[in-house]
Every structure is written in structure tokens, then in C-alpha cells.
Amino acid sequence: MNEYDSDRIKNAIDAEPTDDPKKADIIIVNTCAIRDKADQKAFSSLGKYKHIKANNPDAIVGIAGCVAQLYGDKLLKKIPHLDFVLGTRSIPKLPEIISKIERDKRRTVETSYDLEELFEVEPYHKEGKVTAFVSVQQGCNKRCTYCIVPQVRGDEVNRPLNDILRETTNLVNKGVREITFIGQTVNSWKHDGNKFGDLIRAAGDVEGLERIRFTTSYPRDITKRMIDAMKDVPQVCHHLHLPVQSGSNNVLSNMKRTYTREWYVDTILRLKDALPDITISTDIIIGFPGETDRDFQDTMSLMKEIEFESSYSFKFSPRPGTVAAEYAEEETVKADIASVRLSELQAFQKDITEKKNLSRVGQIEKVLVEGESRNDPDVLSGRTDHNRILNFNGAKDLVGKTVKVKVTEGLLNSLRGELII
């Protein structure tokens, strides 16, 4: 979501991007507030630009995103060289804000929830890029006790189907071959009687679109209508990111996740019944207030039962204004205990991921070639239908094409292979 918003910011100000802050007329730090570490990273980034502002008083420095929404005008008091604070729903107002600063030399805070203009600015798209995000909703109606999203992004607002399809079609006409629909709980999308399964089917009719992904899904909103669409629409990739957060019913209840472990497992079984080769990744929070050793072992047993393709796991981070941040001190899991649990879980996941990648050796995979490998410009890189990164040697004119690659090596975070001519 933040990457998508960053591209919307680029489009909103219609300026030439630069990698050198010293050459920039406008510097905007787009932020996340999902964990405290993200807050600190945002403040650290802003601190780096203090000397630029001192040397060039006309440079405009701003902060956008969730941290901006969360702290508002407090940021102007805390950071003297900051010119503006831009909330999560205020990107369409950015040109006006910058013009006002240039004209009046006045610092500005804009954190209102103006629904009228919410989806007005579409993202900047880099020429030659063959994958893209399309936002289908903003905000969230779930009330998980640890989560700050409803506070910083507001209640759920779903984008009209025609708007989503128009942006998707425009991107395909620019050379995009894979679209990822994004939303806080993307599969809860609904508009004018249409549900998420209907969106998938409609996107499948967009000429030239080869792949459809979506993230992040909420377990309770996985419906038969959605699963049927995933099965019927050939462009849908057979990978799903489905955060479980914990394998303990006690912890899930305290998190107000609205489902049980048994519900989650049954949902996975329904997905695999329809799509036997589907891969599942997940999110896990370790050390949630009140988590006991038994609760943690329940999470570990779930990890062993499902064997996720990958998992994003973190220690609980209390966020201001959330219910979980107010839990009694005696409920807090000690940091050293949480660290040990996290290490155990991550070590187990590492073994599972490596085992799964090794099992692909000798298999032939269809890969959408996205560009050069991050680590070697002479190697091409893309992703399989199941969201595995696959690197191989090939000509640069293969970028944007779907090719067959035989897997020759399974590594921890990727696969290596040979192009099949």
C-alpha cells in the first residue's frame, strides 16, 4: 500500500524523480506506522534532510502516510525543518499544499478524511515495468486490538468497479502484464452489489492482462464465491497471502480476529480443494499480551500443520490508541521470551521454505520476466505463478514475456534455473 501511495504522490506533483536529495526541490518521506520501529525509521529519515533545508531554505520537506496521519501537527512542533504533514487520504490535495507553501511560506497540516477525492490521483508508472498495484479500497472496518490501520486510514471505503477496471486497462495498455489488487482487507471489497469474486471475474476479461494477484486477504472474508472465481479465472495466480497472526484461539480472541484456528484451517482446506497447487503465506505476531508458552506452542503446531510457503513474523509492537496498547502490564510478554519464541518460529519457517524450494528442482515453471536480478544485472529475474522468485540467464528482450524455465537450484529465498527455448 505504501509503495502504491508513493507512486500516487509522484503523479500528484508531476515532478521528475531524483535519487539525490540535494538536487530535489521537494522531499517527501512516505511512512508506515504498523510498528514502532517504522515510526522511528520515519523520524530518522526526516532528520537526514535537516542540513539540506539549512543549505537550501527553498527546498520543501514533507511527511506523508500513516505516521503523518497519526501524529498530525505534533510533527511540526517536533521537527522544525518540516514544511507539511500529509495524511493518508489527502494525496489529491498535494499540488495545492505545495503551491500554498511556495506562495505563503506557511507550514501546513492536512489530515482530513475527504472521501470525495479519495481515489482521484492514480499512481505514477515507470516505463517498462510489467507489474503494477491497483488500489481497490482504503481503510478498514475490522477492529483487531493490535492494529492501528483504522485509526490512520479510516473506515473502509470501496472503489467503484468501473474505476478499478479503467485503471487496470490503462496499465495493461502501458505494457503491464500482472496486476496486484491491494487493500487493507482486499477480499472484503464490495460495491453496488458486486463482491470480490465478481471483481476477479471482471478483471479476467481485461484483454492483455496475463496475471492477477491480490493482497492482503482476511480469513473470514474468504467465500465460496471468491474461491470459485479464483478457480475459474485462469489469470489468477495460485498464491494467497492470508495472515493468521496466531495459532492459539485464546490469542485470536484477544486480538478480536473474529475467527478460530479451526476456521482458518478449514479455509485453507477449501482453498486447496479448489486449487490443489495453491501456496499460502502468512503473518504471525509473537509475544501478544497474555501469550503463554501453550499459546506459542499452538502457533508452532499450526505452522507444522500447514507448512506455509513463507511467513512474515514480528514481535508484538504496541501502537498508540489501540486496545492492546492499554492491556495491563502483567499481560506483557517479556522481551527476551518473545525473542526466543520468534527465533524458534523463524528457524522452523526457514527450514520449510528451503525444503519447498528444493522440491521444485527439476520442475518446469512459467515465469513472468520482470527485469534484471537485484544481485546480478546479467541475470534475468521473475516470479512463478506461486510467487517464487526465479533467476536465470537470458536476453533482455524477454522482459515482459512469460517463459518456461527449468529449476536447477533451490535456495532459501529464490530459485535458479535454465531457460527452455
**Residue 41 banded pLDDT, cuts 50, 70, 90:** confident
What single letter denotes the amino acid at residue 181? Answer: F
* 86 in Cβ contact with 71 (< 8 Å): no
Domains in the chain and their CATH numbers?
2-115 (3.40.50.12160), 364-419 (2.40.50)
Give the pLDDT score at 115: 58
Give the pLDDT score at 116: 63
Point out which residues pair with 27 in neighbouring strands: 61
Q: Kindly state the percentage of the chain with pLDDT values over 70.
A: 99
Q: Does pLDDT of 14 surpass 90?
A: no
- Those residues whose C-beta lies under 8 Å from the C-beta of residue 200, and which sit 6 or more positions away, are 212, 214, 226, 229, 230, 233, 236
* Mean pLDDT confidence for 208-225: 98
Q: Does pLDDT of 122 surpass 90?
A: no
Q: Are strands 26-31 and 60-65 parallel, antiparallel or unpaired?
A: parallel
Q: How many CB atoms lie within 10 A of CB 335?
A: 10
Q: How many CB atoms lie within 10 A of CB 17?
A: 10
* Mean pLDDT confidence for 327-351: 94
Give the pLDDT score at 15: 81
Rounded Cα–Cα distance for residues 419 and 153 (Å): 44
* Mean pLDDT confidence for 146-174: 96
Give the pLDDT score at 323: 95
Give the pLDDT score at 37: 79
| CA-angle at 157, arms to 153 and 160, nearest 5° | 140
Q: Are strands 364-372 and 239-241 parallel, antiparallel or unpaired?
A: unpaired
The H helix count followed by the E strand count for the chain is 14, 19
DSSP category for residue 332: P
* 347 in Cβ contact with 302 (< 8 Å): no
Point out which residues pair with 313 in neighbouring strands: 284
* Mean pLDDT confidence for 396-409: 97
Instruction: Describe the crossing of helices 293-306 and 335-358 by its angle, rounded to 10 degrees.
Output: 10
Give the pLDDT score at 329: 80
What does pLDDT average to over the chain? Answer: 95
Reported as a single tens digit per residue, the pLDDT across 269-290 is: 999 999 999 999 999 999 999 9
Q: Does pLDDT of 305 surpass 70?
A: yes
Q: Does pLDDT of 124 surpass 90?
A: no
